[in-house]
Chains A and B, each alone.
Chain A
């Protein structure tokens, strides 16, 4: 049950802004930290440093995605053969990324409940068990703590497991293993063992799924040292982040959202891997920086439509990397607009927004003209009733009001 949003009108045409082909870019850091497996594919950075075409001074989109989602209208007008890439839904993009990585490296395996024969509760692993076998796509018994620990033990001894939580909330049962072992073992072993595991699953507030199936675990996990957290929001970044997470030597938690699995978009045919630590510029602007991630990106874009009609020019950034924050992209934006609005689905207390507010205040206080506004979900267990559920999460109207107030 996905909501499709109209893309924003923008000064650049659709085709030119979606540049999927980039010249291979050199990595900007020294060779010490390159991944062991070198590949010839592009690591896409939102930084325009290497590309001569893109010019930050004229505010041309650098790695712009004007359309978060390709609309039905768009795809019916244009013929599919004239555009680059192929269309698919977000869960298919995740599956594509997963499948490509499993083909590339035989040590990559998946484990979780119903990932094998059932194909995954959200079909992310559909067909993989038939293709790769029952051991590579392992159906586990319902024992989150133990199979997460098993994945960690497998990662320590040479495999690269992807551990799926059927719903992110179930990973609360695995907290012992995620916190103590996943995050800490590399350090307590003095660097001897690495844990290249990926922990992923759907989370967030769905449609009347009830309190326990509507949890946002990013706030609980964010303090664990030694892990990285990323949240995907479009088919494009879902596939890219999935691949990056699998290739990373660090343990990565990939947050997907229950309501975004059926988003449709066009993604490149060529192989691409995104950077785990970077944020994504969704819409450049002048007046206010709106930081968001996952499903709230779409509420923000919907609000942005209204705001543009009212004469505002919001800059929207999908932070993508929940831990660590991409302070460069965020900082550049703050220095430009001097106003920050954070829109998130996490709880008010101790959420990602709270940490982000602190980080921005610490680093960019002098650049702020107004206090940071953070719109988060209410500190309420998500109610079942549809109306109540709607009021616990941030809605586009609230975003519009907040921007108006901020820009006074």
Chain B
């Protein structure tokens, strides 16, 4: 590894014929053809992106075997039915249009702070979350709007939350980075990377506890933890991989590897950039999948989620994906190579799904346009709703600090301070 005057050469995965060192490394993706992933092939070290799945020591059934079975059983050659296809399309369009609307609203001064948009990564959210039941848990990071929408949180509530209104899913108290929904089992929304992973592990533990200690018959809820490539260098990630594998918790760790942690390229931050390899090190399967293709993500998701549901333990899934926008709306996004962006724009998951639907005569142009229109109307309604919603009143300030407001203590007059009327008005000084 030679050190040029100003820049590092990227490490050993560089093939000899690689381009110059100052550009982030990517090669033509040798991705699997879209019906199966390659399995048990040795990793071609030259390629930054290989599509090899879990190592041979993993006990899990290879995805390709599952797909082969499926191909034998199903009457058609296709991976999805028409209904499924339209559901996937609608979900991805909802995610895309919503994020575009967020950007618009932000620049119009309707929302503030740090807003992290998900454009380009929709295949991961849709591919995984559409396999979940309502009782299953999803834990996300600050890039959580689309996870919330895929899980079922109404667009109105998410938009209101972003506007900081009292009708938001968290009453305006969370904001862009803290989306929670008890009804849809979305456990957040976390601003510090990695801090949601233990929470997800806890939810999976809860599920196992209910099954084995409380002996509840239907307790097979699966938890999905979504996080990025930057998080995979964080201690909490490894600690949770260990615990999840140790206790065979029903959790799937989904890495949305979009190559960039704000301005830090994944390759500059990670000694071994192949994240999926870290799964087998802890005794769980590690799978790499093309995260720009919703159908491939779905295949892997199905197997991983069902594996967890059966009680066989966790899976680590690395989704190669890309964010079309900057890290957040405050990020000028000057570091990334335009050629790289163009490459991934050409692999837009929505375009890819559209093509699949058309090519396989699953949907017509009109049907898809109808869906587009429906979503646009939904979003206009969401914005209108959010606009017209009231801001949180002062009385909301001190609510929800404690589940049991006795926690504010006893005041000098002997009464619990939460009984003081100023508390409900929000004017008491705590």
Add 14 more A-B contacts to A106-B214, A141-B242 (CB < 8 A): A35-B404, A136-B209, A141-B243, A147-B239, A149-B201, A157-B207, A158-B206, A177-B195, A185-B180, A189-B182, A190-B400, A192-B170, A192-B182, A277-B410
Residues of A within 8 A of B414 (CB): 47, 328
Residues of B within 8 A of A29 (CB): 406, 415-416, 419
Q: How far is the CA of A187 from the CA of B400 in the complex (A)?
A: 5
Residues of A within 8 A of B210 (CB): 158
**Contact string against B for A residues 144-176, beta-carbon threshold 8 Å, 1 for contact and 0 otherwise:** 011111111111111100000000000000001
A54 located at the interface, meaning its Cβ lies under 8 Å from any Cβ of chain B in the complex:
no
A153 with B206, Cβ < 8 A, contacts A106-B213, A250-B402 known: yes
Of A116-124, A291-299, A319-327, A389-397, the one touching chain B: A319-327
A25 located at the interface, meaning its Cβ lies under 8 Å from any Cβ of chain B in the complex:
no
Q: Is the CB of B198 within 8 A of A147?
A: yes
Closest chain A CB from B76 CB (angstroms)? 39
Residues of B within 8 A of A277 (CB): 406-407, 409-410, 416
The one of B169, B405, B412 in contact with A331, judged by C-beta atoms closer than 8 angstroms, is: B412
Residues of A within 8 A of B418 (CB): 33
Of A6-14, A57-65, A193-201, the one touching chain B: A193-201
B408 located at the interface, meaning its Cβ lies under 8 Å from any Cβ of chain A in the complex:
yes
Q: Is the CB of B409 within 8 A of A156?
A: no
Q: Is the CB of A177 within 8 A of B415?
A: no
Provide a sorted-by-A list of 8 A–B residue pairs whose CB atoms are within 8 angstroms: A141-B242, A141-B246, A147-B239, A149-B199, A180-B195, A194-B403, A250-B404, A327-B412
Residues of A within 8 A of B171 (CB): 190-191
**Contact string against A for B residues 388-412, beta-carbon threshold 8 Å, 1 for contact and 0 otherwise:** 0000000000011111111111111
Identify which of residues 133-170 in chain B touch chain A, using a CB-to-CB cut-off of 8 Å: 137, 139, 168-170
Residues of A within 8 A of B326 (CB): none
Q: How far is the CA of A146 from the CA of B194 in the complex (A)?
A: 10
Q: Is the CB of B180 within 8 A of A159?
A: no
A154 with B205, Cβ < 8 A, contacts A141-B242, A149-B195, A328-B412 known: yes
Of B185-193, B254-262, B290-298, B311-319, the one touching chain A: B185-193
Q: How far is the CA of A38 from the CA of B418 in the complex (A)?
A: 20
Q: How far is the CA of A277 from the CA of B139 in the complex (A)?
A: 33
Closest chain A CB from B47 CB (angstroms)? 33
Q: How far is the CA of A157 from the CA of B210 in the complex (A)?
A: 10
Q: Is the CB of A146 within 8 A of B240?
A: yes
Q: How far is the CA of A245 from the CA of B198 in the complex (A)?
A: 23
Closest chain A CB from B118 CB (angstroms)? 20
Residues of B within 8 A of A151 (CB): 202
Q: Is the CB of B403 within 8 A of A321?
A: no
Q: Is the CB of A154 within 8 A of B170?
A: no
Residues of A within 8 A of B412 (CB): 327-328, 331, 363-364
Residues of A within 8 A of B400 (CB): 186-187, 190-191
Identify which of residues 364-382 in chain A touch chain B, using a CB-to-CB cut-off of 8 Å: 364
Q: In the complex, which residue of chain B has the Cβ closest to the Cβ of A155?
A: B202
Pairs A-B, 6 closest by C-beta atoms: A153-B202, A149-B198, A324-B409, A190-B171, A189-B180, A190-B170
Residues of B within 8 A of A324 (CB): 407-410, 417
Residues of A within 8 A of B208 (CB): 135
Q: Which residues of B contact A (CB under 8 A)?
A: 137, 139, 168-175, 178, 180-182, 187-192, 195, 197-210, 212-214, 235-236, 239-240, 242-243, 246, 399-419
Closest chain A CB from B24 CB (angstroms)? 30
Output the residue of B213, B405, B419 with the most chain A CB within 10 A.
B213
Q: Is the CB of A143 within 8 A of B242?
A: yes
Residues of B within 8 A of A248 (CB): 404, 407
A259 located at the interface, meaning its Cβ lies under 8 Å from any Cβ of chain B in the complex:
no
Residues of A within 8 A of B246 (CB): 141
Q: How far is the CA of A245 from the CA of B317 in the complex (A)?
A: 39
Q: In the complex, which residue of chain A has the Cβ closest to the Cβ of B208?
A: A135
Q: In the complex, which residue of chain A has the Cβ closest to the Cβ of B166?
A: A190
The one of B174, B200, B213, B419 in contact with A189, judged by C-beta atoms closer than 8 angstroms, is: B174
Closest chain A CB from B368 CB (angstroms)? 35
A51 located at the interface, meaning its Cβ lies under 8 Å from any Cβ of chain B in the complex:
no
Q: Is the CB of B401 within 8 A of A186?
A: yes
The one of B180, B206, B403 in contact with A157, judged by C-beta atoms closer than 8 angstroms, is: B206
Output the residue of B191, B201, B204, B412 with the most chain A CB within 10 A.
B412
The one of B191, B235, B401, B416 in contact with A187, judged by C-beta atoms closer than 8 angstroms, is: B401
The one of B189, B190, B209 in contact with A159, judged by C-beta atoms closer than 8 angstroms, is: B209
Q: Is the CB of A145 within 8 A of B239?
A: yes
The one of B178, B198, B203, B214 in contact with A188, judged by C-beta atoms closer than 8 angstroms, is: B178
**Contact string against B for A residues 302-343, beta-carbon threshold 8 Å, 1 for contact and 0 otherwise:** 000000000000000000010111111101000000000000
